[in-house]
């Protein structure tokens, strides 16, 4: 009997390992649909005072239709006959077909504060026992856009609920859509710097299908993770960018001993620009370059059984090691491209350089990663000198050892699974040398219908050395 029990347990362990391991990555969490500790049943007032309210209380003036209409747009919408204006705009990962969205989640109540189907996680960043998970407001029914999982309390659950961060009040969406500098509207991705601070961009925009509305100015937020207090909020001027539509990530360049002298590098995937923010001077400037554009040969995608075309420009930025002069290589790429580029941080940190019409050889082509290696996010790891890529067409994670020539042959495969790693939307590396990857099946959500009976969203993790091991990227 004892031997049979041991065999059973051994076979069960094999099954579990087979379920959670996907080549070089380990599945940590998985959700059929996302859930929250606060779904929005208790709504604060404009003074951040908690109050009791029904689900979506106060949303009484909006029509129950597939297209969401905002109070100040009723007249213009009626004049236009409800037609979409996006036919003349760029089609990026921010855009969705003009369809009746209510038919896809079976809920005609556009006033609901929580609609499970509409919540698609985008970003994942770990810091000391908390995994920050973002939920951009691309649909109605999203209680909080910035959240976290308490790994100490809920880390052993396969589908943990999310806590709003820093609290629900800060995430609360005003029913009248009034701007409020104390509130966060929509966040795509976050990052943690060397000074224990969480950085992110609030796009200030609701990106509901066929009706994007800029609720308030896009803003850079900085929160002290030692006490969860907001340190800085910088509203991005209209002279820099008119809307927050293309601001989906942020990368921080700072020495731990000089925290006030930080620079933030922000790609704009829609307007194809690279913005630089100086925390010390509270100034912001932007660079334009052909290398920020999408590749016409790289925009045809097939992900999760969906065939589509996107033209996302510069999407991800990661930083190499510091050189002796105190500067470093800044690697970047458009998402609709297989090519990687680089520029020195000394170029970006000089505001005067942004005004030049000719950047000479400041921006350089590294080379191609190979066919079908389009990537959302990537990050350099200082322990291994490896850059890890979230590759959407390959439904997995790739890598390149920066000590080797940049070529397709020197790009390896860490993990790949066409069923369980559909659309890796984010990839980050924490202080402990662990890679965290979010896969969210987004093309299926946009162009088809998610099966809510199966796991659609997953978070993966792996140590950087284990990830690079047995690949061409392994450190010497």
Q: What is the distance between the alpha carbons of residues 21 and 8, in angstroms, rounded to a whole number?
A: 20
Whether the CB-CB separation of 310 and 383 falls below 8 Å is answered with: no
| pLDDT of amino acid 110 | 64
**In the predicted model, is pLDDT for residue 15 greater than 50?**
no
Whether the CB-CB separation of 387 and 410 falls below 8 Å is answered with: no
Taking CA atoms, 54 is separated from 43, 86, 110, 111, 177, in Å, by 8, 34, 14, 10, 18
Taking CA atoms, 442 is separated from 61, 66, 139, 461, in Å, by 30, 19, 13, 20
Q: What CA dihedral angle connects 419, 424, 425 and 430, to 10 degrees?
A: 130
Q: Please give the residue that has the higher pLDDT: either 58 or 212.
A: 212
- Mean pLDDT score, 392-415: 98
The tally of CA atoms less than 13 A away on the side-chain side of residue 313 is 19
Q: What CA dihedral angle connects 147, 150, 155 and 158, to 10 degrees?
A: -30
Domain presence at residue 10: no
Shortest CA distance to 208 belongs to which of 34, 308, 70, 90? 70
Domain presence at residue 14: no
Shortest CA distance to 58 belongs to which of 75, 74, 40, 76? 40
CB neighbour list of residue 141: distance below 8 Å, 6 or more residues apart: 56, 105, 107, 112, 113, 114, 115, 116, 118, 119
Q: What is the distance between the alpha carbons of residues 121 and 1, in angstroms, rounded to a whole number?
A: 46
Q: What is the distance between the alpha carbons of residues 245 and 247, in angstroms, rounded to a whole number?
A: 6
Domain presence at residue 401: yes
Q: Mean pLDDT score of the chain, rounded to an integer?
A: 87
Domain presence at residue 435: yes
Confidence class for position 476, pLDDT limits 50, 70, 90: confident
Phi, psi of 306 (to 5 degrees): -105, 130
For 336-388, what is each residue's pLDDT tens digit? Answer: 999 999 999 999 999 999 999 899 999 999 999 999 999 999 999 999 999 99
Give the DSSP letter of residue 419: T
- In this structure, the number of other CB atoms found within 10 A of the CB of residue 278 comes to 16
Domain presence at residue 406: yes
Among 42-51, 164-173, 370-379, 419-428, the minimum mean pLDDT is found in 42-51
Q: What is the distance between the alpha carbons of residues 161 and 164, in angstroms, rounded to a whole number?
A: 10
Shortest CA distance to 360 belongs to which of 303, 296, 299, 289? 289
Pairing of strands 187-192, 163-164: unpaired
Instruction: For residue 242, give the 3-state DSSP assignment.
Output: coil
Q: What is the distance between the alpha carbons of residues 292 and 266, in angstroms, rounded to a whole number?
A: 12
The tally of CA atoms less than 13 A away on the side-chain side of residue 408 is 8
- Mean pLDDT score, 188-192: 98
Residue tagged 């450190």 (tokens)? 475
Instruction: For residue 15, give the 3-state DSSP assignment.
Output: helix
| pLDDT of amino acid 202 | 98
For 104-118, what is each residue's pLDDT tens digit? Answer: 544 556 668 999 999
CATH code for position 356: 2.120.10.30
**In the predicted model, is pLDDT for residue 466 greater than 70?**
yes
Domain presence at residue 7: no
* Structural tokens at position 40: 């929005």
Give the DSSP letter of residue 160: P
Q: Please give the residue that has the higher pLDDT: either 175 or 25.
A: 25
For 248-281, what is each residue's pLDDT tens digit? Answer: 999 999 999 999 999 999 999 999 999 999 999 9
Confidence class for position 60, pLDDT limits 50, 70, 90: very low
Domain presence at residue 338: yes
- In this structure, the number of other CB atoms found within 10 A of the CB of residue 163 comes to 20
Give me the number of domains the chain comprises: 1
H/E run at residue 152? helix 151-154
For 80-110, what is each residue's pLDDT tens digit? Answer: 333 334 334 555 665 666 555 444 544 556 6
Q: Where are the alpha helices (DSSP H) in 172-287?
A: none
Domain around 280: 25-468
* Structural tokens at position 462: 């792996």
Whether the CB-CB separation of 152 and 129 falls below 8 Å is answered with: yes
Among 63-67, 212-216, 247-251, 292-296, the minimum mean pLDDT is found in 63-67
- Mean pLDDT score, 176-202: 97
Confidence class for position 167, pLDDT limits 50, 70, 90: very high
pTM of structure: 0.87
| Percent over 70 (pLDDT), the chain | 81
* Structural tokens at position 215: 């609720």
Shortest CA distance to 181 belongs to which of 46, 70, 50, 280? 46
Domain presence at residue 16: no
């Amino acid at each position: 009997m004892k031997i049979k029990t041991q065999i059973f347990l051994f076979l069960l362990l094999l099954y579990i390992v087979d379920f959670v391991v996907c080549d070089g990555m380990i599945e940590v969490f998985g959700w059929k649909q996302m859930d929250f500790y606060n779904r929005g049943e208790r709504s604060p007032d404009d003074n951040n005072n908690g109050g009791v309210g029904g689900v979506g209380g106060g949303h009484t003036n909006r029509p129950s239709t597939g297209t969401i209409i905002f109070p100040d747009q009723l007249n213009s919408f009626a004049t236009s006959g409800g037609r979409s204006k996006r036919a003349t705009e760029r089609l990026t990962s921010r855009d969705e077909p003009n369809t009746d969205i209510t038919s896809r989640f079976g809920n005609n109540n556009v006033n609901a504060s929580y609609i499970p189907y509409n919540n698609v996680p985008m970003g994942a960043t770990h810091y000391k026992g908390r995994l920050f998970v973002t939920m951009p407001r691309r649909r109605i029914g999203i209680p909080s856009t910035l959240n976290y999982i308490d790994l100490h309390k809920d880390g052993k659950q396969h589908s943990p609920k999310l806590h709003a961060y820093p609290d629900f009040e800060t995430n609360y969406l005003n029913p009248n859509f009034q701007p409020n500098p104390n509130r966060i509207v929509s966040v795509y991705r976050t990052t943690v710097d060397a000074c224990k601070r969480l950085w992110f961009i609030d796009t200030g925009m609701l990106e509901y299908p066929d009706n994007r509305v800029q609720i308030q100015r896009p803003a850079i937020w900085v929160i002290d993770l030692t006490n969860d207090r907001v340190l800085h909020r910088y509203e991005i001027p209209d002279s820099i960018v008119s809307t927050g539509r293309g601001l989906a990530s942020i990368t921080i360049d700072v020495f731990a001993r000089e925290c006030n002298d930080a620079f933030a590098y922000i790609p704009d995937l829609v307007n194809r620009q690279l913005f630089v923010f100086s925390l010390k001077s509270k100034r912001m400037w932007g660079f334009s370059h052909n290398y920020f554009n999408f590749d016409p040969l790289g925009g045809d995608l097939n992900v999760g059984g969906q065939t589509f075309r996107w033209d996302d420009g510069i999407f991800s930025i990661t930083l190499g090691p510091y050189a002796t002069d105190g500067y470093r290589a800044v690697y970047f790429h458009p998402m609709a491209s297989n090519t990687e580029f680089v520029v020195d941080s000394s170029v970006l940190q000089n505001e005067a350089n942004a005004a030049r019409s000719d950047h000479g050889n400041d921006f350089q082509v590294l080379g191609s990663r190979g066919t079908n290696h389009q990537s959302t996010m990537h990050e350099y790891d200082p322990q291994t000198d490896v850059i890890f890529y979230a590759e959407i067409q390959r439904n997995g994670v790739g890598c390149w050892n920066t000590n080797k020539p940049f070529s397709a042959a020197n790009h390896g495969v860490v993990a790949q699974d066409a069923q369980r790693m559909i659309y890796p939307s984010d990839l980050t590396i924490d202080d402990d040398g662990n890679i965290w990857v979010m896969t969210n099946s987004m093309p299926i959500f946009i162009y088809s219908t998610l099966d809510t009976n199966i796991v659609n969203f997953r978070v993966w993790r792996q140590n950087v050395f284990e990830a690079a091991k047995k690949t061409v990227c392994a450190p010497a």
